[in-house]
Structures are given as C-alpha cells and as structure tokens.
A = this chain, B = another copy of it.
Amino acid sequence: MAVATPVVAERPPSLDALLGLARSDMAAVDELIRRHMDSPVPVIPALADHLIAGSAKRLRPLLTIAAARIAGARDEACLKLAAAVEFIHTATLLHDDVVDSSQLRRGRVAAHLIWGAPSSVLVGDFLFARAFELMVGAGSMPALEILARASRVIAEGEVLQLTRAHDLDLSQDVYLEIIKAKTAELFAAAAESGAVSAGASPERCRSLRKYGQDLGIAFQLVDDALDYSGDAGALGKNPGDDFREGKATLPLLLVMARTGASERDFWVRTVDRREQTDADFERTRELMRQTGALQATLDLARTYAESAKVALADFGASPWRPALEDLADVAVARTA
C-alpha cells in the first residue's frame, strides 16, 4: 500500500496540461523512435519494441520537448534530441536489467529472459549508437556534448552503485551521488539539451538543467520508496527487488540507522549476506513504518520537487510553467 503524503493540494496534480501542450511534438517523437529502432537484423526492432512499447510515459523526452518549447524553440531539432534521450534511457534499462538480472520491466518479462543477455547487451549498444546518430541529425554540438557527458556520468553512477550498493555503511551522501548520476543526470541533460538547442541564455539553460536534476532526484527517491510500499500490478516490476538484491537505497539506509544496534544482526544477515526468508521483507516494511523511514524518504522527495519548481521562476507566464510544476507534484504523488 502507498504511504499517504500530507499534501495540501487545491487540485490533484496531473500530467494532463503537459501532455496536452506536448501532444503533437510527442506524436512526432514517437514516429522518430519507431523509424530509428528499425534495422534489417530482425531481433533488433523486436527487442527494442518490447521495451519501448511498454513505456507509456516517456518522461525524459517530454522534458526535452518542454524545455525546448518553454525556451522558445520554434524548429524541430528538439524532436530528434527527445528521441535520442529515450534511446539512451532504453539502452541503459536493457543493460541494467542484465546487470541486475531483473525479472520484470515496465510490466513485461525483462528482455534478456526472452532474447538472452547477449542480445540485450548488443541491442542496448545499437540504441545508444542510434541516439548519437539522432543527435547528429539535430545538428547542435553543445546539445550533443551535454548528452555524451550524461551518458558517461550514468555509466559511472551504475558502476558506483554496483561496487558500493551492498555496503551496509553506505553514507546518505554517496547514495545521493549515485542517484544523481544514474537517474537525475539524464533528467537534467534531457532538459538542458532541449534548452540549449533552442538557443536559450546560459542562465535559462542552467535553470532548466536544475529543474531536471531536482525532478530526477525526487523521481528516484519515490522509486526507491515504492520498492517497499508499492504493489507489483501498478509498478510493472516486483516490489522488494531492491531488498532482495541487498541494494542500499535511502529507505533501507534510514531504517538501518534508526533501528540501531538492536537490529544489526538482522541487517547483516538479510542485506549484507542476502540470506532472506519471505517474512524478512515484511518485517523490514514494518520497521520502515515504525521508524518513519519511508515517510522521511518521501519528505526528501517533496523537498527536491519544490526546489525543481523554484527553478522555473524565470519563465514568467508561459503555459509550460504550471504544466512542469504539475509534473514535479505528480513525480512525488505517484503510486507507480
């Protein structure tokens, strides 16, 4: 079950305004995505489609479009950048699922369980290369630089997570460093590259980058909370995956810190040695509720979402501004 967040909301946050403003652009982005995932090698479009068709939200390319349009873009360069952003994201998902041996992704059996890990690795490489071909087509070297750098930072974040994530004594600072790199960097770069390609001022590019980054951090914090509070049907993946992998996300770091010495043996066995019974996950959720670890994670997400909204202060009366503010609220209020 979801933990209730005490939000004093006049209207429930919704993506309707944003999706309405971006509708025709996003239809064009979908068309670009579909065209560029094609290949004469049949496994490639089949495997790519399995993952890409499963994505209803396309949040990251939506950010690129919104940032470009709020910054005044009138041409179509941002459409190619947005498709490139979705390809980078899909490539990292394919590789992550191989790295984590995940079973479910976006409500479907993970691709590597159908086509094998080798195909997932290589189709990820294909999509990553396609992303750069699309960026070349967009014709903005500064946007390309931002997304190349983001791709590198994401890989660094993934390796950092891989080598440190089972560390019971991981600091909250390193945890934040990991989610900034593996998740928030692409949100930040998606928005910044859209703004840059629109020829926005350096200040406005920085503001939109900041919006994307804070939104991305909030998004990942909620993701990490939902892995303990969500349900499989809504999530499209199994809750408890992080716990079973012994992945030290914020809710777990907080509950471990707040339960102190009395539970140390429990955490060493379940997280460090990953010797778990079915009851251990339930006990962990109960301890998270008792210690307020989940609520503290969601409160931090709320703080970042508010910070993201503040970053939009310079964008005056553009209709995109309240739509992006709603996105920040939705990121925190979501249950899936």
Contacts and interface: CB of A to CB of B under 8 A. Distances in A.
A39 interface: yes
A160 B128 contact: no
A123 interface: yes
Most buried by B among A40, A100, A158: A158
B132 A40 contact: no
Nearest to A137: B145
Contact of A43 (B133, B152, B163): B163
A51 interface: no
Interface stretch (A114-122, A249-257, A306-314, A325-333): A114-122
A92 B128 CA distance: 13
Counting every copy of the chain, the complex holds: 2
A252 B203 CA distance: 62
A128 B43 CA distance: 22
Contacts of A125: 91-92, 95, 124, 128, 151, 154-155, 158
A121 B98 contact: yes
A128 B148 CA distance: 9
A170 interface: no
- A91, A121, A144, most chain B CB atoms within 10 A: A121
A135 B149 CA distance: 11
B126 A156 contact: yes
A129 interface: yes
